[in-house]
Amino acid sequence: MHFDFEAALVLATLFTGVFWALDRYRWERRRGEGDRPPWVVEFSRSFFPVIVAVLVLRSFLFEPFRIPSSSMVPTLLEGDFILVNKFGYGLRLPVIHTKIVPLGEPERGDVAVFRFPPDPSSDFIKRVVGLPGDVITYRDKHLSINGEPVPMESLGLYQGPGASAYDMVTAFEEVVGEHRHRILHVQGRDSLNLRAEVPPGHYFVMGDNRDNSADSRRWGFVPEANLVGKAFLIWLSVDTDDWRLRLSRFGDSIE
């Protein structure tokens, strides 16, 4: 069962806000001197400002996420905890996600968090490679955008975190837009070839772990309305195999 923390925050804000306002503008003046207010009023007076601050911060500024899979290795590892810029792609109302202030749009190469189109209750993270109107071609594990091959340089065998013990994995440096980043290919695994034109108001996304990522090559485009924000910082990282902290990743920016 999916727990909607954002909806819970909104309900908590409304609940405590109502009791705070009723006490502030009606009940407080009726109480005798020294009378103690009911527990629900004391609770609301104490926590309403805190809950409002958390709601505003999480809904409009920054939101933490945990990386649950290896689809973005080597950029992001399973067990990384990241911060997402919520206002970079425009301010949206919590719960209903309606954009109220357009502040910007994704750029090629951004690492973006979005609500998974087939199941919007789940959040996904991938790299934006195609903007509205772009023609994306992926053939023999090489990406082209609008007929131009994306620069890609081999870095040799990859044996870092997230690599499979049963596959030979090659790392490459790829340049998409203004972003220079590493990607992985599994040697001997077939390429998922395609050609697709990105429709208006949609984006084409891919994982950096190219042969181990379910992305737009499989389930289609990301609607603009599903965007959550741009990932920009790793603030904590935990190796999920032995639960050790990966201190060297603390504070790393996400490119």
126 contacts 207 by C-beta, under 8 angstroms? yes
Which pLDDT score, from 0 to 100, does residue 1 have?
57
pLDDT band at 54 (very low <50, low <70, confident <90, very high): very high
Between 159 and 129, the more confident residue is 129
Burial track 164-192 (b if 16+ CB lie within 10 A, e otherwise): eeeeebebbebebbebebbbbbbeeeeee
| Residue boundaries of the structural domains of the chain | 5-61, 67-249
Q: Domain 67-249 is classified in which CATH homologous superfamily?
A: Umud Fragment, subunit A (2.10.109.10)
- Annotated catalytic residue, options 44, 86, 126, 216: 126
Between 222 and 167, the more confident residue is 222
- Annotated catalytic residue, options 44, 59, 70, 71: 71
| 126 given a catalytic annotation | yes
Which pLDDT score, from 0 to 100, does residue 238 have?
95
Tell me: the pLDDT tens digits for 216-252? Answer: 999 999 999 999 999 999 999 999 888 899 999 999 9
Averaged pLDDT of the chain: 93
Is residue 4 predicted with pLDDT exceeding 90? no
Which pLDDT score, from 0 to 100, does residue 28 have?
84
Tell me: the pLDDT tens digits for 145-157? Answer: 999 999 999 999 9
Tell me: the pLDDT tens digits for 89-106? Answer: 999 999 999 999 999 999
Which pLDDT score, from 0 to 100, does residue 166 have?
66
Q: Is 230 helix (H, G, I), strand (E, B) or coil?
A: strand
Mean pLDDT, range 183-206, rounded to an integer: 95
Q: Is 5 helix (H, G, I), strand (E, B) or coil?
A: helix
In angstroms, the Cα distances linking 102 to 14, 84, 91, 108 are: 26, 17, 7, 18
| 141 given a catalytic annotation | no
Tell me: the pLDDT tens digits for 10-44? Answer: 999 999 999 999 998 888 888 777 778 889 999 99
Which pLDDT score, from 0 to 100, does residue 33 have?
72
Report DSSP state, residue 150. Answer: P
Rounded to two decimals, the pTM is 0.91
Beta-sheet strands, E only, within 120-178 = 123-130, 135-139, 142-145, 148-149, 152-157, 169-176
Tell me: the pLDDT tens digits for 71-89? Answer: 999 999 999 999 999 999 9
Which pLDDT score, from 0 to 100, does residue 165 have?
65
| pLDDT > 90: percent of the chain | 84
Which pLDDT score, from 0 to 100, does residue 26 have?
87
Q: Which two tokens stand for residue 80?
A: 């990384």
Which pLDDT score, from 0 to 100, does residue 173 have?
97
Is residue 119 predicted with pLDDT exceeding 80? yes
Residue 213's nearest CA partner among 68, 67, 69, 66 is: 69
Which pLDDT score, from 0 to 100, does residue 167 have?
80
Which pLDDT score, from 0 to 100, does residue 3 have?
76
